[in-house]
A = this chain, B = another copy of it.
Amino acid sequence: MAKNKNTEQKIFDAATELFMEKGVDRTSVRDIASKAGINLALMNYYFRSKENLFDAIFTNLVKENTRELLKILDSDMDLEEKVQNYVNAYIDILTSNPLLVPFFMAIIHRSQDKITKMKMISNLYGTEKFSQQIVDEGKKGTIRRTDPSHFFVDMISLITFPFAIRPLIMDRNEMSAEDFNLFIHERKEHVTNLLLKNMKDC
């Protein structure tokens, strides 16, 4: 199908995989060159430095993986439908790439500069409309009055954290990768219910 990838793309793809698997700091430019099947010097020819390459990869990963989620948050669905869609979509994304969460966790801890954080916030955390909706529906009485910042933190905690401790969950319960996916799949309904139930008076 796709014709032979060009060199730049080969470097980019190899580095993406390695950064996610082993972490940025445990990946050397020699690893990248060898995995991409290219010469060591070419990494510096196309990207000026390893840090620069990392930047490009990071920006790309954020964009690729948050577009759909932002669309849902900014849509005109009612809150219940929105939460349900968000949880499902988010879990699907992470299931198809379970290393995303550990990778982002590492980056948060690694990079203290504003720019990197802003990239994550404006995407992973871009919830102006969503927050407003929670406040509004609380006032109207559709739902119980809810603090949007806690609600949002609850939601992403319940969705993403299991992927951060995936090796522990798998080991502890003697799960295969498939078993884990099943466990995570169960969480779609579980998490949605937990969140929605809490918004309703009872």
- CB-defined contacts of A93 to chain B, threshold 8 Å: none
Please tell me the number of chain A residues within 8 Å of chain B, measured between CB atoms: 46
- CB-defined contacts of A167 to chain B, threshold 8 Å: 108, 112, 117
Indicate whether A108 sits within 8 Å of B117 (C-beta atoms), given known contacts A25-B25, A158-B157: no
- Whether the pair A109, B108 counts as a contact (CB closer than 8 A) is no
A169 contacts the other chain (CB 8 A): yes
The 9 closest A-B pairs by CB, nearest first: A202-B202, A157-B161, A25-B25, A102-B109, A161-B161, A105-B105, A157-B157, A121-B172, A125-B172
Interface residues of A (CB under 8 A from B): 23, 25-26, 102, 105-106, 108-110, 112, 114, 117-118, 120-121, 124-125, 147, 149-150, 153-154, 156-158, 160-162, 164-165, 167-169, 171-173, 183, 186-187, 190-191, 193-194, 197-198, 202
